[in-house]
Structure 1
């Protein structure tokens, strides 16, 4: 596993209507701007995953709520 992935806080899981970005530690859907990142298209989910993990690596918690 690349060192960068060891620091990931978020992951993707399929859901009934698409994809959900989840917080690895809690298993709950990630929030961006107070909106749960659920039922996303695969492209949108991948985009949010990269954005949220990038923000988390920099210590930016603004995407949480």
Structure 2
């Protein structure tokens, strides 16, 4: 954005670490794909199938 007053902050759940699959860092390690008919960033395999995410919060994973 071309506005010096706008500050964008991204905070993502790193779970047990970004070097293993137990995290939910979709914007950091995800890629552009489609989920439920809309275009978004998600964790996906080589075939475009969405991967499970990890969270310590109940019912968020």
Higher helix share: 1
For the aligned pair, the TM-score class normalised by the smaller chain equals: under 0.3
Higher strand share: 1
Normalising by structure 2, what TM-score?
0.26
Normalising by structure 1, what TM-score?
0.25
Q: Which has the higher contact order (CA 8 A, sep 6+)?
A: 1
Question: Of the two, which has the highest radius of gyration?
Answer: 2
